Amino acid sequence: MKYNKIIKKVNNELVAFGNLGNVASYIPELSAVNTSKFGVHLTTIANQHASFGDADEKFSIQSISKVISLTLAYKIEGENLWDRVGVEPSGTPFNSLVQLEHDLGIPRNPLINAGALVICDILITHLSSPKEDFIAFIRQVSGIPTIDYCNRIAESEKSVGYKNAALINLMKSFGNIKNDIDVVLDFYFNLCSIEMTCKELSQTFLFLANYGVCPFSKEIIISRSKSKRINAIMQLCGFYDEAGEFSFKVGLPGKSGVGGGIVAIHPNKYSIAVWSPKLNEKGNSYKGIKFLDLFTTETKFSIF
């Protein structure tokens, strides 16, 4: 399939929809991002590439990194993981306190903020040097040794992380956080600060398009069964209370971040990353979702 040609065609069609939405201004460092930025990169499991726009410019992947932390925690904990976090769509905003209290401190899924905090807590329990070991895992998965945290963004998030502090304290009161709250929060803010380009992000997630195996190194990152389940969680929960609409329109498992990035997986075919900083009212990239909607329509390929 001529992906470069299709991506250019879809970009031309996007003009009619404008560039609506707003950047995540509640995080100071993200409020300064150039809102006109737009990048796309697709990588097939056969190592074919298609790219467009600002695909080689780094941006903050934010919550997209939750999928990789989930992968590592699931690899370590196995099915015991689901004793502390669920796999159901939340149907509520990504930082909801109300639902968490109703569910007695057990987050609905690992991709909302509360769930990702539990995953961070689990990794801190198991890893001797959590931040160093986690970034080493991402470099292993991606094959890119230069991927790193951004201290500037981590500190910016920490300065306004009141809601996350409320979430973790609530879960601590229910006994679902085992480690020191400040240590878990620091790990979480760093995890969200990781910067990648669309090309790097697409390559990092390719193992989930290849049933848990990195197609470049042939290394088994996670078992086929666990890979299937992670894709299912992305399909159901990757876009918070817009997950159903994304599945309905795009038909691929994916994950968004408030930095404006989206990564989506077509099993046995490709991984695609899109970046456009302006977010819709649900906290997902407006232009990114519209692009993927048009892209899967044009290619006539989805998982359904």
pLDDT in tens, 120-135: 999 999 999 999 999 9
Whose CA is closest to 135, among 80, 240, 214, 61? 61
Q: 146, 92 in Cβ contact below 8 A?
A: no
Residue-level length of the chain = 304
User: Which of these CATH numbers, 2.70.170.10, 3.20.20.140, 3.10.620.30, 3.40.710.10, describes 3-299?
Assistant: 3.40.710.10
Q: How far apart are CA 229 and CA 67, in angstroms?
A: 11
In angstroms, what is the C-alpha Rg of the chain? 18
Q: How far apart are CA 6 and CA 67, in angstroms?
A: 28
> What are the structural domain ranges in the chain?
3-299
Provide the whole-model pTM: 0.96
**Would you call 43 exposed, middle or buried from its count of C-beta atoms within 10 A (0-12, 13-18, 19+)?**
buried
Q: For the chain, where are the E strands, in sequence order?
A: 39-44, 49-53, 59-60, 195-196, 254-256, 261-266, 270-275
Written as six digits, the tokens of 61 are: 């992947």
Across the chain, mean pLDDT equals 96
In whole angstroms, what separates CA 241 from the centre of its chain?
A: 15
Q: How far apart are CA 151 and CA 86, in angstroms?
A: 31
In whole angstroms, what separates CA 210 from the centre of its chain?
A: 18
Q: How far apart are CA 129 and CA 115, in angstroms?
A: 21
State the average pLDDT over residues 149-168.
Answer: 96
- 223-277: pLDDT as tens digits: 999 999 999 999 999 998 899 999 999 999 999 999 999 999 999 999 999 999 9
Please report where in the chains the tokens 């990239």 appear, as a residue. Answer: 285
